[in-house]
Structure 1
Amino acid sequence: MNTNRLSKTMSDGLNSQMTKEAAAAQIYLSYGAWADSEGYGGIANFLFRHASEERNHMMKFLEYILKRGAKVKVEAIPAPPQDPTDIQDCFEKVFQSEIDNTNAIYKLVKISFDEGDWATWHFLQWFVKEQTEEETLAMNLLDKIKIAGGKNASGDVLYELDRDLEKAPDEASLAETKTAENP
C-alpha cells in the first residue's frame, strides 16, 4: 500500500529545502571558521551555533518527509561562497542567505496552499516564523555594525561586538510579541 501523502511537486520541494538547509549550515560553518581565523572567537561561536541550528532545520525536513510517507533524497550541497572580506561583509552575506532561504520557504507555503496540503502548510508555518526571526536577527546585527562604523569600525568596537556575540541570544524579538506595555 502506498502511504505517501505528498505530491511529487511537494516532495521534490521539501527535499530541495532539506538540501538548502544543509547548505545554509555549511555557510554558517564556513563563515564561523573564517571569523575564528581572523581572531573573532565570539562571532565564530555565534556562527557555529547557527550552523547547528540550520542542521536541525534540515533534520526537521527529513523527518517530515519520512513521516508523510515520501522518499528522502539526500543530495550533494554546493560549496559555501568565498570568505567574507570583513565583519560587515560577513553579516551582509548571512542576511542574503537568510533572505534566499525565506523565499524558498515561501514558495513551499504557496505550493502547499495551492494543493490544499494543510498538513504541510501547518508544518511550514514554524519555518515562516523562524525565517522572520533569522532575518530580524541579521538586520539587527547589521544595524549594530553600521552604528559601529561599518567597514571602518575600529578594533575596539569589533572587540566589543565579538565579546557580545559570544553569549548573545540566538533569537530576535519579533513584532508579534510586542504590546503597548512591552514595546
Structure 2
Amino acid sequence: MATTKKQPRSKFYELLQAQIHNEFNASQQYVALAVWFDNEDLPQLAKYFYEQAVEERNHALALVQYMMDTDHHVEIPGTGDVRNDFSDVRELVELALEQEKGVAADIKTLAKAARDEEDYMGEQFIQWFLKEQVEEISKMTTLLNVVDRANGNLFEIEQFLNRESAGATDDDPTMPPVAGGKL
C-alpha cells in the first residue's frame, strides 16, 4: 500500500505547490524560445534559452525537494500554455523578461506568506529564490538592451552571448537541493 505525506497545508505550502507549476511552465516556455532561435540558426541564443529551461526545471525540483523534506505531499502538475509564434528576436527576449518579472512577484508573495505565517524555515528557504530573481531580471534586461542596441544585427547578439558565456559557470553552491539531482 502506497503512503502519502499529508501535513496540513498552509497558504505558504499551497503557494509553493502553485509555484512548482509556474517554474515548470517557465521551463517549457524557455524550450519554445530556444527552439525558435535554433530554427532561425541562432545557436548562441538557442543555447542560452535551453540553459534557462534547465535552470527553471531545477528551480521547480528544488521546490519539490523542499516540500518532501518538510513532509508535505507534492503533486507534479502539467504545464500551462506555451507561446510558440513570434515575429522577431526582441519579442522573445521581452517575453522572457516579463516572465522573470512575474516569477519575481510570485516569489515575493511566497516570502510574504511565509513571514505572515511565522514559517521561519520557509522564509529562509525562499530567500535564495529572491536573490535568484534579481539576477534573472538583470540578465534578461541586459539581453534586451543588447538586442535593442544591435538594431537588427543578430550576429552582434550572438557575439555578445558567446563572449559573455566564455568561462562562465552557473554552479551556485548556495542553491537548495534539487529532487533527483541538479542537471
Q: Say which of 165, 169, 172 aligns to 2:161.
A: 165
CA–CA distance in structure 2, aligned partners of residues 109 and 83 of structure 1: 34
Cα deviation code 1:4-30 (max 9, x no counterpart): 667432221101101111001001111
Q: Which amino acid is the alignment partner of residue 157 of structure 2?
A: L
The 5 A counterparts of 1:109-124 are 109-124=111-126
CA RMSD after TM alignment: 1.9
Is structure 2 residue 57 aligned with structure 1 residue 55?
Answer: yes
The number of residues matched between the two structures is 164
Residue equivalent to 1:142 = 144
Moved >4 Å (runs of 4+): 3-6
The one-letter amino acid of 1:113's match is R
Q: Distance in 2 between matches of 1:43 and 1:144?
A: 12
TM-score by length of 2: 0.83
User: Cα distance 1:170–1:81, how it changes in 2: closer, same or farther (>3 A)?
Assistant: farther
Q: TM-score, normalised by structure 1?
A: 0.83
1:174 aligned residue:
none
- Contact 2:7 2:73 (8 Å CA) reproduced: no
2:181 aligned partner: none
In structure 1, the gaps of 5 or more residues are 172-183
Cα-to-partner distance string for 1:120-175 (whole Å, 9 max, x where unaligned): 000000000000000000001111112122xxx13xxx11312332462477xxxx
Give the 3 Å change call, closer, same or farther, for CA 121–5 of structure 1 in structure 2.
farther
Over 3 Å counting, the alpha-carbon distance change for 1:38 and 1:12 in structure 2 is: same
Structure 1 residue 23 corresponds to structure 2 residue 19: no
Distance 2:161 2:7 in 1: 42
Cα distance in 1, alignment partners of residues 86 and 70 from structure 2: 39
Q: How does 1:1-183 map to 2 (within 5 A)?
A: 7-149=9-151, 153-154=152-153, 158-166=154-162, 168=165, 169=168
Identity percentage of aligned residues: 26
- Alpha carbons 2:114, 2:120 under 8 Å: kept: yes
Cα distance in 2 for partners of 1:105, 1:67 equals 19
Amino acid in the other structure paired with 2:52: H
